[in-house]
Structure 1
Amino acid sequence: MMTEDKEEITPVGKRQYKRGKERRQDILTAVVMLLSNPKPERFTTKEIAALCGVSEACLYRHFSSKAEVLMSLIGFCETSVMTMFSELDAVEGLTYTQRATAKVRALLEFAEKNPGLTRLMTGEALVFEEDRVQQYMTHVISKAETSVRQTLKLAVVNREIAADTNVARCAEVYVSFVTGRWLRFSQSGFTKRPTEGWSFAEALLSLTEL
């Protein structure tokens, strides 16, 4: 949330940039609102502009296309996920297997707190969008899976799990579980929480490490 600036003498260029930054944030927020509708429909830049209370021409001064808007939101997802993972990697007192399942939990919680973004992460909102947008989202999911795989590799090194454990397949199962929960959340109109029944899910996921 943007906070009100203290009164100060600000160069004109800087002041204009801040207004532009705030407008970009308004546009991104509007798109998330549209995506958060339990019964979503495709939307255009014209509808985004109308929700923001600006002209379509104004929207294009901040984003060159709808694809750029969506890629900005995906970029936010990427930054958020990798930041969460870095924080989990820095937590002391956790085994590497615990870190791996904690990353799964973090992905579920992120979706639960951001239902609109969940539709991007499942790819549902990207079906008719440009290939580069879909590829970017796929890249972000792949990065998350790589992080989980690396954590499980460390679990092998530290003899927490068997040396012959197929960590690539385990990470694939973990992330498939996550994306399945995301899709269930979205298709239920956001009524079935991704973290629902987590204790059972955590125990089930631990079986993949055997």
Structure 2
Amino acid sequence: MSVKTGERKHQILQTLAEMLEQPRAARITTAALAAKMQLSEAALYRHFASKAQMFEGLFEFIESTIFTLVNQIVSTEPDGVEQARKIAVMLVTFAERNKGMTRVLSGDALVTEDERLQGRVTQITDRIEAVFKQALRHAVMNGALNPAVEVTPLAAALTHIVLGSWLRFAQSGWQVSPTLHIHAQLKLLLDQRH
């Protein structure tokens, strides 16, 4: 029984993500990935030109998922402060539920890979920070946040909390939950109403 190309690509990405979930996993080779899937390396390369292209597939999944959720939050939550809070919680919850993706987002899984992949992490980080800025500007305009608050550094601090939570989770071998102190951290940063 043959597997359709789209299904096989999805299986390859899912297996790669599962392999990345192993705490302190060594560099994942295409040989190890092929062996885990009981395929030949040639079969992997029929679906992806390179391992970097496999990681690109993971990035596409990550971006599609988190920014779809961001758009849902923004469209249903009128308060900019609450938008920022909910987005931060969603991002750390996503990491908690997707350990392999967390290793990609934190850059941990990319250390020995094609350096252009690190650029994708930077793009996602920049988009996240831009989303926080937009929510905070909205909060200032609507009087939900003190007008004296500097939006750009606050958006950067929110982004750093998310990135730090992802990194700590990956480095701890999944022992330190990224959601552990998120509500208290967000309260410290966002409860600046007036």
- Higher mean C-alpha displacement, 168-177 vs 152-161: 152-161
Q: Is the 8 A contact 1:170 1:209 kept in 2?
A: no
Q: Which residue of 2 aligns with 1:68?
A: 53
Q: Which residue of 1 aligns with 2:70?
A: 85
Whether the 8 Å contact between 1:170 and 1:208 is mirrored in structure 2 is no
2:15 equivalent among 25, 30, 37: 30
Per mean C-alpha deviation after superposition, the further-off stretch among 140-149 and 194-203 is 194-203
CA distance in 2, matches of 1:82, 1:50: 33
Q: Which protein, 1 or 2, shows the higher relative CO under an 8 Å CA cutoff with sep ≥ 6?
A: 2
Report the 3-state secondary structure (helix = DSSP H, G, I; strand = E; otherwise coil) of the residue aligned with 1:38. Answer: coil
Equivalent residue runs for 1:1-210 within 5 Å: 19-92=4-77, 94-206=78-190
Alpha-carbon contact 1:119-1:125 (below 8 Å) kept: yes
Task: Show CA shifts across 1:34-57 (max 9, x none).
Answer: 100023110111111111111000
Query: What stretches of structure 1 move > 4 A for 4+ residues in a row?
Result: 207-210
Bigger Rg over Cα: 1
Q: Which amino acid counterpart does residue 164 of structure 1 have in structure 2?
A: A
Number of residue-to-residue matches in the alignment: 193
User: 1 CA distance for matches of 2:115 and 2:26?
Assistant: 20
Structure 2 regions of 5+ residues with no counterpart? none
Between the aligned partners of 2:154 and 2:81, the Cα distance in structure 1 is 11
| RMSD value, Cα | 1.6
* Aligned partners of 1:81 and 1:144 also within 8 Å: no
* Cα deviation, residue 207, structure 1: 5.1
Q: Percent identity?
A: 34
Superposed displacement of residue 202, structure 1: 2.4
| Partner Cα distance (1:192, 1:162) in 2 | 33
**Aligned-pair distance for 1:209?**
7.1
Deviation at 1:208, TM superposition (A): 6.8
Three-state SS of the structure 1 residue aligned to 2:4 is helix
**Partner SS for 1:189:** coil
Contact 2:145 2:192 in 1 (8 A): no
CA distance in structure 1 between the partners assigned to 2:59 and 2:90 by the alignment: 17
Question: Could you report, residue by residue, the CA deviation over 1:105-162 in whole angstroms, capped at 9, with x for unpaired residues?
Answer: 0100000000110000000111122122110121011111101110101111112222
Q: Residues 209 and 127 from structure 1, CA distance in 2 versus in 1: closer, same or farther, beyond 3 angstroms?
A: farther
